[in-house]
Amino acid sequence: MAEQVAKKARIEEVENKSVLDQLKEITVIVADTGEFSLIKQFSPQDATTNPSLIFKAAQIPEYHALIDNAIDYGNKQAANLNISEKQKLDLIMDKLVVNFGNEISKLVPGYVSMEVDARLSFDTEKTLHRARQIISLAKELGMDTKKILIKVAATYEGIQAGKILQEEGISCNLTLVFSLVQAALCAENSITLISPFVGRILDWHKSKYNKQYSGNEDPGVLSVRTIYQYFKQFHYSTIVMGASFRNTGEIVALAGCDRLTIAPSLLSELSQQHTAITRVLHPTIVSDEPFVKLPTDEASFRFLLNEDAMATEKLSEGIRLFAADITKLEKIISDKLASCFPR
């Protein structure tokens, strides 16, 4: 009798918890947004931003002061330093990223990801320069730089930049991860965190094969599970943070992953669902078939990535999309500069 009562109590306890609350017990939840009110609503541990999210937020009147502050900062620095108009615009863009990151850091106890200009994804040295500039700007605001993850696309050049930044004590988030070889090279170089994408992999397979996938068949879910298990087998310290979700089923199918970065719309859905979930990923449970360590020298990396059509296409597409939104954001800045200082 006592056992039945206890079992009923456990069931009721789960039923009273939302899926989001259950996930928070086994996975670090990260908000994938640049909007402060939404971060406050869901109380995540960390927050991530990207050019698309900041471009979206920059069009909301509530955030115009952050843009104006970045422009004022750039103008003052340009007056004191001998820099070109391009350098001034780059500085303003980085200052804007830091302004958003600084405000977000006040709302979350953990990491805040700040992204380097995606158009530099194939230039290690320029990526390093902009990353260091972001950290310098953050220090000027008194931010705790240990909370910052410099976000860079997981190209070969981006991972090399991440390696150097990590050696300098700057933590990194390597994003747009679509293949195991990208993840493996990041782990070999002790990158703090990677963001393997789920939904964009699903999009590619649906389009390529005209087929619907769900749950354990979802190719994006399977990709993250493979990366997670590979990391645990070889005892890598790099954090796996699943990203780019299309539905809550993908999220639940990765319950137990180190971190999951989730858009506010899906966080809202998860908070309203009250079904019991099962932990899928656990650090002590690895793949039934042990992995063979992938070669991660430059030639092998480029060849293995090239062999993966999906990863090659989605990485390129992701960089193009982020680059396009950076260009749109620059247009907003340039128009404001022109209105303040007409030629």
Q: How confident is the model at residue 7 (pLDDT cuts 50, 70, 90)?
A: very low
Per-residue pLDDT at 13 exceeds 80: no
Q: Could you report the per-residue pLDDT of 253-294, keeping only the tens digit for each?
A: 999 999 999 999 999 999 999 999 999 999 998 777 899 999
How far is residue 202's CA from residue 242's CA, in Å, rounded to a whole number?
13
Our answer to whether residue 151 is catalytic in this structure is: yes
Sequence-ordered list of residues with C-beta below 8 angstroms from that of 125, at least 6 positions apart, any chain: none
Q: Give me the mean pLDDT over the 181-208 stretch.
A: 98
CATH number for domain 19-333, candidates 3.20.20.70, 3.40.50.720, 3.20.20.30, 3.40.50.300 = 3.20.20.70
Residue of 95, 151, 232, 314 with catalytic role = 151
Q: Could you report the per-residue pLDDT of 78-108, keeping only the tens digit for each?
A: 988 889 999 999 999 999 999 999 999 999 9
The token pair that represents 217 in the structure block: 């068949």
Q: Could you report the per-residue pLDDT of 31-55, keeping only the tens digit for each?
A: 999 999 999 999 999 998 888 888 8
Residue type, 242: G
Q: Give me the mean pLDDT over the 110-121 stretch.
A: 97
Q: How many residues does the chain have?
A: 343
pLDDT of res. 5: 39
For the entire predicted model, the pTM comes to 0.93
Angle at 133 between CA 129 and CA 135, to 5 degrees: 120
The token pair that represents 61 in the structure block: 């009147």
pLDDT of res. 6: 41
